[in-house]
Chain A
């Protein structure tokens, strides 16, 4: 029953993330946490929608002036693909293939980082080109808070995955760390779910007007 016990491909269970009681608890607890996060983001979306285009005067940029289709598209593709690569990582985890799992996690991190760079570029662009600032208007505050919260989740997800990779680089898979990898990938998917709504509600609907 030792969770750190050495496993082999043959003894590796079908659902390693839920094979131990701790794993089961973490799995459920994390899902519940995501249920709460859903309400958190919904509140932020609601705030954004209520304050969209609310600016003090007409010198301020509005949603339709700001957003840019190609940029959002690239960002979306990056994040979407990273979701798939993390699926691959979990696939390899279930196959007890530590090396390949690490590889796919690495790709996921790379894609996530590129997304982040793009977002930083985008924010910087808005501030310098359009004077669209966090402190400039209610619209600005709401926009940066919603998208920034998502960005913070991306950062947190990246730190988490990297930390897991570093910590377990030499250790191989066991029933102690398998749930951790699984949860990190769940988290990463959830970030993508939120992004789907961000690109739809914020960017695309912003451009439609």
Chain B
């Protein structure tokens, strides 16, 4: 396996490009972080205010899922190329996990 630098011929151009790219990405990271903060606020707020459980539980579950998507796709770069296998395996794991949780909530006590 050669250890190429994924660069074309001209190092100067590439460097500038890379720096700009990663700056840009960092901006996305900040945005997703603020979104995550925001979602967390809403979740805690909804519970703090004391809406009915029928409303709150689905809401906070939804917020948590969105937040996790942010984590996975931006913080953990799952949106990038080269993450096909990780994506498949993580979501398979998630699916199996969710089935487990569903089963435990439905058929452990009856």
Q: Hey, which bits of chain A sit against chain B, CB under 8 A?
A: 1, 9-15, 18-21, 24, 28, 31-32, 34-39, 41-43, 45-47, 49-50, 69, 72-73, 76-77, 80, 83-84, 87-88, 91, 94-95, 175, 186, 189-190, 192-193, 196-197, 199-201, 204-205, 207-209
Contact = CB atoms under 8 A, between A and B. Distances in A.
Contacts of B90: 31, 34-35, 38
Interface string B1-44: 11111110001000100110010011001100100110010011
B100 A193 contact: no
> Interface of chain A, helix or strand or loop or mixed?
helix
Contact of B103 (A41, A46, A186): A46
29 contacts: A1-B2, A13-B3, A13-B4, A18-B82, A24-B1, A31-B83, A35-B92, A39-B93, A39-B97, A42-B98, A42-B100, A46-B100, A46-B105, A49-B101, A50-B105, A50-B108, A69-B44, A77-B37, A77-B40, A80-B36, A80-B40, A87-B26, A87-B75, A94-B22, A189-B71, A193-B68, A196-B67, A208-B47, A208-B53
A204 B15 CA distance: 46
Interface of B: 1-7, 11, 15, 18-19, 22, 25-26, 29-30, 33, 36-37, 40, 43-44, 47-48, 53, 56-57, 60-61, 63-64, 67-68, 71-72, 75-76, 82-83, 85-86, 89-90, 92-94, 96-98, 100-101, 103-105, 108-109
A42 B97 contact: yes
